[in-house]
Amino acid sequence: MKKIVALSAAAGVLLSGCVTLGLSTESAVIRAKNKVAPALVHIRPVKEVFTGGRRTEVLVVGSGFIISRDGYVVTNEHVAGESAFVRCVLENKEEVEAAVVGVDPYTDIAVLKLAEDHGPYPYAKLGTSRDLEAGQTVIAMGSPHGLARSVSLGIVSVTDRYLPEGGPLPAPYHTWIQTDAAINRGNSGGPLVNLRGEVVGVNARKQARAENIGFAIPIDAVVEVVDAIIAHGRVQRSWLGLTLQEITVKTDDVTQKGAVIADVDPLSPAYEAGLRAGDVLLTVNGQSTDARFVEDLPAVRKRIADLAVGEPATLRIARGGAELDIEVVTAEKSELRGKEVEFREWGFTATEVTPAVARVVRLETPTGIFVSGVQVGGLAGNARLKRGEIILSVDGRAVGNLAAFQRLYGELVGGKQRLVLLQVKFGALTRFVLLKQEDVSSGAAVDSEEDVGED
């Protein structure tokens, strides 16, 4: 009987402790939420969307949070980028117009500025992602599926998850915070918050076809990008033209140090300086570039990106059993995506060919324009112009860039020239496309190539 009483008493103490712990966690979550909630922003940008060879404007939904009393807002580039204008709904349900200060597609960060006549604004306190640990409790805030002021609770699953660059969102310079706090469409750009009420990440994406797997951009990476955008309107980075790979095997040249140079762009500063695929990058200006695992690669890429643009840098490499120092002058990293324009009378859309686009489509130089969409039944569609082709010339006149093509297009449309001959390139093949300007179908159907909705 005494044992039963003792066990009952012990169970009561344990139960009491669990209840206390539960109440303590609940109180901490509520306190953290209350600290950040006044700075939470429901974002409704009107975005330019180019699909099926047409330009349209659509209203999308995303999230963000205010970081300063004068109304700077952080969100995702895929939420607010390419927006004609942005409306933000504050926690008090007041609607305020915002301007896009700048965006950085390489980290998926955008900075907005709320109208000053509505300030001063409440703002969130930024913490650090450097001290995060797996198992730490966090809350994700935002507008999942347009449901504003939502809060979800979870833990940090992994602090440095590496996701391949070829995925839905590029992230060459940072790893991700993985969390099981629910992150859904519309949460993008919202804050990931610790129990002290500090923002430790920016919600950005969820794992497709999986439950309870979401990803946030570490706040330490975000702060650096935001500071650059506020100061200069963009982030300037250096580029050498190297594709890097983690150390995966041990050879005579590789002793688990450095990063393998898997490829070198033939039009890059690195190639011109003599770097080749198979070399092992050991240091950059004396700083280590060890990448034993894929999670180490973003830090190495960032070390290169942080070099002064146009200045010489010394790279130490391992090659053929020897170590060599090679000096290379950096170039500025180009925009990830070029400007996109609709050519309504001809029924297609096209983008600038940036150096980044030129590398993808294997052009020797970034010239011409990239056909991003073609209307079914339009003039270009009837002439069998295809999405993905590069227009190199118009009636024998070379197309240097998008602005040059726009001038030629304006002349030809305004002059009512009946036949127009385009020289186009796709991969290694070059061909000619004959446009007949009198052969334009009205009410042509749109060949939709992507879905549009919440971000």
pLDDT at 7: 43
- Tell me the pLDDT band of 23, cut-offs 50, 70 and 90: low
In this structure, are residues 154 and 126 in contact, taking their beta carbons and an 8 Å threshold?
no
**309 and 378: one domain?**
no
Q: State the Cα–Cα distance between residues 51 and 449, nearest whole angstrom.
A: 6
pLDDT tens per residue across span 73-89: 999 999 998 787 799 99
pLDDT at 336: 65
**What is the pLDDT averaged over residues 324-333?**
94
**What is the pLDDT averaged over residues 26-37?**
94
The CATH number for 130's domain is 2.40.10.10
**138 and 82: one domain?**
no
In this structure, are residues 66 and 78 in contact, taking their beta carbons and an 8 Å threshold?
no
pLDDT at 443: 41
Residue 429 has pLDDT above 70, yes or no: yes
- Our count of domains for the chain comes to 4
- Tell me the pLDDT band of 352, cut-offs 50, 70 and 90: confident
Domain assignment of residue 242, yes or no:
yes
H-helix or E-strand spanning residue 337: none
H-helix or E-strand spanning residue 24: helix 2-36
Least confident of 208-212, 237-241, 330-334: 208-212
Of 39 and 57, more confident = 39
Residue 127 has pLDDT above 50, yes or no: yes
Sign of the torsion angle spanned by Cα atoms 382, 384, 388, 393: negative
pLDDT tens per residue across span 273-298: 999 999 999 999 999 999 999 999 99
**350 and 275: one domain?**
no
**149 and 225: one domain?**
yes
Domain assignment of residue 445, yes or no:
no
- What percent of the chain clears pLDDT 90, i.e. is strictly above it? 64
The CATH number for 303's domain is 2.30.42.10
Is the peptide bond between 120 and the residue preceding it cis, with omega within 30 degrees of 0? yes
Boundary of a domain, candidates 302, 332, 362: 332
Domain assignment of residue 443, yes or no:
no
Active site positions, annotated: 78, 108, 188
Residue 20 has pLDDT above 50, yes or no: no
pLDDT at 455: 56
Residue 168 has pLDDT above 70, yes or no: no
pLDDT tens per residue across span 110-126: 999 999 888 799 999 99
**174 and 225: one domain?**
yes
**199 and 258: one domain?**
no
In this structure, are residues 342 and 50 in contact, taking their beta carbons and an 8 Å threshold?
yes
- Written as six digits, the tokens of 359 are 């590398």
Residue 210 has pLDDT above 90, yes or no: no
**114 and 129: one domain?**
no
Identify the domain containing residue 47 by its residue range. Answer: 37-118
Q: What is the pTM of this model?
A: 0.79
pLDDT at 24: 83
User: Which parts of 296-437 are beta strand (E)?
Assistant: 312-319, 322-329, 331-332, 340-343, 348-352, 369-374, 390-394, 397-398, 419-426, 429-436
**228 and 198: one domain?**
yes
Domain assignment of residue 289, yes or no:
yes
Domain assignment of residue 277, yes or no:
yes
Domain assignment of residue 404, yes or no:
yes
**199 and 165: one domain?**
yes
pLDDT at 255: 57
Residue 140 has pLDDT above 60, yes or no: yes
For 54, 179, 266, 376, 409, the CA distances from 440, given in Å and listed in that order, are 15, 52, 42, 11, 15
- Output the CA angle 390-392-394, nearest 5 degrees: 120
**177 and 135: one domain?**
yes
pLDDT tens per residue across span 212-270: 899 999 999 999 999 999 999 999 999 999 999 998 755 554 457 899 999 998 888 99
Residue 139 has pLDDT above 80, yes or no: yes
Least confident of 43-57, 275-289, 410-424: 43-57
**What is the pLDDT averaged over residues 32-57?**
87
**What is the pLDDT averaged over residues 172-188?**
94
CB burial of 333-364 (b: ≥16 within 10 Å; e: otherwise) equals bbeeebebbbbebbbbbbbbbbbbbbbebebe
Boundary of a domain, candidates 118, 142, 177: 118
- Tell me the pLDDT band of 391, cut-offs 50, 70 and 90: very high
- Output the CA angle 369-373-363, nearest 5 degrees: 35
Residue 185 has pLDDT above 80, yes or no: yes
Domain assignment of residue 442, yes or no:
no
pLDDT at 67: 98
Domain assignment of residue 25, yes or no:
no
**What is the pLDDT averaged over residues 204-212?**
82
pLDDT at 222: 97
Alpha-helical regions (H) of 37-82:
77-80
Boundary of a domain, candidates 298, 332, 366: 332
Residues in the chain: 455
Residue 11 has pLDDT above 50, yes or no: no
**137 and 202: one domain?**
yes
Residue 363 has pLDDT above 90, yes or no: no
pLDDT at 169: 61
Least confident of 167-171, 376-380, 395-399, 403-407: 167-171
